[in-house]
Amino acid sequence: MLNKNKAAAFLMSLLICASASIPLYSFADNETSTSAAAEAAEEADEDIAAEEENFIESGDFSYSLTEEDTVCLQHCRIVGSEAVIPDTIDGKKVTELGPWVFGNDGKSTYSKIALPASLEYISSNNPFKVCMQLKEITIDAKSENFAAADGVLYSKDMTKLICYPSRKEGTSFKIPDTVSQLGKASIYSTALSEITFPEKLRILDDFAVGSNEALKVADLSKTEVSEVGDYGFAGCTSLEKVLLPENLYSIGGAAFYGCKKLEEIELPDKLGMIGQYAFMDTGLTKILVPDSVDTIGYCALGYQSSVSGEEVPVNGFIILGSYGSAAQTYAKDKDSEYGYANDFDFRSPEENEDIQEIENLDINNLGDYDYAVENGEAYIINCNSFDDVIEVPADITGIPVTKIYTVAFSNTSASKIIIPENVKLIKKMAFQNCTYLKEVVLPQSLETIEDNVFEGCYALEKADLGGAKTIGTNVFSGCQSLKEVTFSGDCTSFGNENEHPFIQCPALESISVSSGDGAYTSKNGVLYDHDMTKLKAYPSARDEKNFDVPQSVKEIGDYAFYNASIIEEVDLSHVEKIGVASFGGCKKLKKAKLSKDLKTVGNDAFFDCKELESLRFYDSLESMGEFACGFYYDEEADPNDENAKVEKLVSGFKIYADKDTCAYKYAKDNDIEVITDTADVFGLNIDKRLLGIGGGVIGAGLLAGILSIFFKKKKAKKAAKEHSEMIKKAAEARKAKSEGKDEEDEK
C-alpha cells in the first residue's frame, strides 16, 4: 500500500503547484502525514521568502513592479474585516493581485474586499481562496476587466466566475448562463447545498467546487465540460448524486476525494482518463469503467483511508468493464515504486448481472444438481455429475426445469449432454470450457441461447440448438472440432450484425436449418438468409471442390467462405455484392466466375487466395476495397517492423478488365498486371479484335477452333458420364444375377 507520507506529499505538492495552499481536509492527524505536509509547506514558505526579499514595503502593503512599472500587490496587512485596495500606491497604478495577497494560511479576517478600477490581472491561483470569512467582493464600476454581481466576482464579460465568497449568505446559487469557466477554487468551501451549472460551462478548474460540505447534487449533464479539474469536487462530504456530461474526457486527480456519500456514478462513454485518487474515500463499492478509458491513476478506484493513514482497498470492491480494457489491467495492477498491488474483483457487466441474480436466489441441492425455484419453475445453477452422458431431468421434485444458468455445466466432463423439454433459456457460458463435450442436444421448447454458451468446447462435434429463436454472440468461439450444427427455422437472430458465428470452426461440414418463418434457411449444408438472397456462411470443411451459388443469391456475406479449406472453383454468375473477406484464406481456390452485374467487392474479399491466378471484372463494378484480390499474407514478415509489408502480391496474378473501369484502376493502383480488350468465351479470355468482323479468316478460324475444343470437351465429358453409368448398370446386373443364383442354390 502507499504509505501516508507519500500520499500527503502528493496531495500537498499538487495543492501548492495548482492552487497555492488551499486549506483542505487531511488524510489523518498522524505524525507521518503532518511531517510530509510540514515539509512541503516549508518548501513553499522558502520559495515565498526568496521572492519577498525583492518586495517593496509601503504602509499596509507589499508589492513588486511589473514590466510596465505598475504595482503587482503581493501582501495586504490591513487590520479589520474590510479591505479596500487602492488604485495607486506610491504614485504607481495598482494593476495586479498576486497569489498571496490575503495570506497563505486561511486566517484572513476579511468579510468584504473592495477592488479598484485600475486592476487588470488577478492571479489565476485565486488569492481570495484563503479568505474563509469573506461575504462580499466589490469592484469599481469603471473597471474594464472585472465585474461584481451580488458580491460575486467575475470577468468583465461574465464568462469566468473568479470567486464566490466562502461565507456569502444563502444556500443556493444559479451560476449565470454566460459563464463558461469556473476558475480555481472559485466556489470553494461555501454553505451552498444547491448549485445550478449553466449549459455553456466548458472549464471546471482545479478545486473549483471543492469542500462544499452541504452540496448534495452536482448535475453537469447538460454542460460542455470536457475535464473535471484536480480536486474539482473534493471534500463535498454530502454529495450523493453526480451527473456527468457525455463529452467528458478527463476526471482529474482527487476530483471526488472524500465524497463519502457518493455511492454510485455513471461514467460517460467518451471518458479517456481517471486521475490518481479520483474516487478515493467515496461511498462507491463498484464502478463500471467504459472501454474508452485508457488511463487510470494509482489509487483512483477502490481505495479508502485507514485510521493509521494508509490507503487500503475497499473490502469487496468490484470493477466492471470489458476484458482486455484498462479497467481489467487496473484491477490487478502493481507498482513496485509505490509499493502497492491491486487485487480487485473484475467482471464484465453481464457477468455481474448474472452473479447478482444468482446471489438473490435461494439455492438448494438434490443429487448432482444445485438449483433454485422461482415462480413455480426450477433453475439449474450447477451440475456436479461425473457421468459421460448427462441427461438433465425435466423436473426436480415435480417442478419443471426451465432455465440453465451461467457456467452451470462448466465443471462436467461429459461427452454428451441432453437438455430436456420445458427449458426455455440457456444463459451465458452455460457450457463454457466443457473440453470433453462432443455432442449437445437442446429442446424445441428453447427460446433463447445467450452469449458464449459453448465457448472453449474444443471437442464439440455436433450441436443441435433445438427451437431457439434468439442465439447470442460468440456461441461457438473456439469450437475447433465442430462438424455439424442444426438450428430452428424460426430463429430470428444469430449473433449480431457484425459477427460471423462459425468463423472459428475450421472443421465445420454442414449447417442445417429446419423449416420455419425465421431469418435463416439452409440448402445442402450452406446457410442463407430466409429468402436465399444472401449467402451467410459456407462451412469451412464442406467436402465439395466446386460450388455454384444459387441464382437467387445477390450477396455474399462478410467472411462467408472464410478459410474454406477444400473449395477450388466457385460460380458467382448472379452475385452483385461480395462482402469483406468473403473468400479470405481460401488457399485452394483456383477459379471464381464473377457476374457481369457485380457492383461491390469488399476489403480482403479474395485475400490470401494464393492459387487464384486471375479474375475477370466487368464495367458494372462500382467499388473495390483494399487488398480485395491479388494479395496474400507473408508469414515471414515481421509484424513489429513498421516498414515491413505483410500483404504481398500473388506472383503472376492478373486482372482482366476494360480500361478506366473500377477494376482497371484498382489494378494500376496496386501494381497488378491488368489485361484489357478481351472477352470471356466459354471460360477463355480472348482478344476482342480476333472476334470482330475485321478479324477475317484468322478470327473465324480461331473462334471455330475454340468452339471445336469446347464441344469436344463437352462431348467427351458426356461420353465419360455415359460410360460410367454403363459400368454401374453392368455391375448392378452382375450383382442381381449372383443373388439369383444364390437363391437357386439354397433351394
On whether the CB atoms of residues 179 and 158 are closer than 8 A, the answer is yes
Q: What is the pLDDT of residue 414?
A: 97
CB 475 within 8 A of CB 446: no
Q: Categorize the per-residue pLDDT at 38 as very low, low, confident or very high, splitting at 50, 70 and 90.
A: very low
Closest to 453 (Cα-Cα) out of 497, 421, 490, 487:
487
Stronger pLDDT, 668 or 498, i.e. the higher one: 668
**pLDDT value at position 334?**
87
- Kindly state the average pLDDT of the residues 506-533: 97
Higher pLDDT, 652 or 735: 652
With residues binned 3-state (H G I as helix, E B as strand, rest as coil), the percentages for the chain, rounded to 5, are: 15, 25, 55
Higher pLDDT, 564 or 338: 564
What confidence tens digit (pLDDT) does each residue in 48-100 have? 555 667 899 999 999 999 999 999 999 999 999 999 999 999 999 999 999 99
Which pLDDT value is given to residue 98? 96
Answer positive or negative: Cα dihedral of 318, 320, 324, 481.
positive
For the stretch 595-614, pLDDT in tens is 999 999 999 999 999 999 99
Q: ∠ at Cα 600 (597, 606), nearest 5°?
A: 110
- In 3D space, the residue among 93, 142, 154, 87 whose CA is nearest the CA of residue 116 turns out to be 87
Please tell me the predicted confidence (pLDDT) of residue 737: 61
Report pLDDT digits (tens) over 105-148.
Answer: 888 999 999 999 999 999 999 999 999 999 999 999 999 999 99
Report residue 595 as a C-alpha cell.
457476374
Q: Look at 686 and 421; give whichever has higher pLDDT.
A: 421
379 band by pLDDT with thresholds 50, 70 and 90: very high
For the CA atoms of 274, 275, 281, 286, what is the dihedral angle to 10 degrees? 20
pLDDT band at 361 (very low <50, low <70, confident <90, very high): confident
Give the model's pLDDT for residue 591. Answer: 97
The residue ranking higher by pLDDT, 724 or 664, is: 664
Residue 504, burial from CB neighbour count under 10 angstroms (0-12, 13-18, 19+): middle
The larger pLDDT score, comparing residue 641 to residue 195, is at 195
Q: Do residues 23 and 51 touch, judged by C-beta distance below 8 A? A: no
pLDDT of 2 > 50? The answer is no
Assigned C-alpha cell, 367: 443429487
pLDDT single digits (tens) 175-232: 999 999 999 999 999 999 999 999 999 999 999 999 999 999 999 999 999 999 999 9
Per DSSP, what are the bridge partners of residue 596? none
Q: What's the pLDDT at 727?
A: 58
Q: Which amino acid is at 362?
A: D
Residue-wise pLDDT for 690-703, tens only, equals 555 444 444 455 55
Distance CA 466, CA 457 (A): 18
Residue 336: pLDDT band by 50, 70, 90 thresholds? confident
The dihedral through the CA atoms of 37, 38, 43, 45 has a sign that is positive
Question: What does the chain come to in residues?
Answer: 747
Q: What is the average pLDDT across 405-411?
A: 90
User: What pTM did the predictor assign?
Assistant: 0.64
Contacts of 523 (CB under 8 A, 6+ apart): 532, 550
| 747 has pLDDT over 60 | no
Mean pLDDT of 443-454: 96
pLDDT at position 71 is 97
- H-type helices in 278-348, by residue range? 326-331
Give helix 31-52 / helix 4-14 axis angle, nearest 10°. Answer: 30
Compute φ and ψ for 663, nearest 5 degrees: -65, -35
In the chain, % of residues over pLDDT 90: 75
Non-local CB neighbours of 68 within 8 Å, separated by 6+ positions: 95
684 confidence band (pLDDT: 50, 70, 90): low
Average pLDDT over residues 255-265: 97
CATH 3.80.10.10 fits 428-669, yes or no: yes
* Residues near 391 by beta carbon (within 8 Å), at least 6 away in sequence: 417, 418, 420
Based on its alpha-carbon atoms, the radius of gyration of the chain, rounded to whole angstroms, reads 39
Q: How confident is the model at residue 16 (pLDDT cuts 50, 70, 90)?
A: very low
In this model, does residue 455 exceed pLDDT 90?
yes
Q: Does position 711 have pLDDT exceeding 70, yes or no?
A: no
Task: Render pLDDT for 382-403 as a digit per residue (tens, 0 to 9).
Answer: 999 999 999 999 999 999 999 9
**Which secondary-structure segment (H or E) carries 172?**
strand 172-174
Domain boundaries, the chain: 428-669, 695-746
What does the pLDDT look like over 719-731, one tens digit per residue? 555 655 665 665 5
Residue-level pLDDT at 622: 97
Q: What percent of the chain has pLDDT over 70?
A: 83
Query: For all residues of the chain together, what is the average pLDDT?
Result: 88
Whole-number pLDDT of residue 539: 98
Q: Which residues make Cβ contacts (< 8 Å) with residue 257, sequence separation at least 6? A: 231, 234, 235, 277, 278, 279, 280, 281, 282
- Confidence class for position 497, pLDDT limits 50, 70, 90: confident
In this prediction, residues 548-561 reach a mean pLDDT of 97
Q: In this predicted structure, what is the pLDDT of residue 20?
A: 40
pLDDT exceeds 60 at position 537: yes
* pLDDT for residue 23: 35
Rounded distance between C-alpha atoms, residue 22 and residue 716, angstroms: 97
- Which of 468, 529, 479 has its CA nearest to residue 501? 479
Task: Evaluate whether 384 touches 406 at the Cβ level (below 8 Å).
Answer: no
* Structure confidence at residue 746 (pLDDT): 53
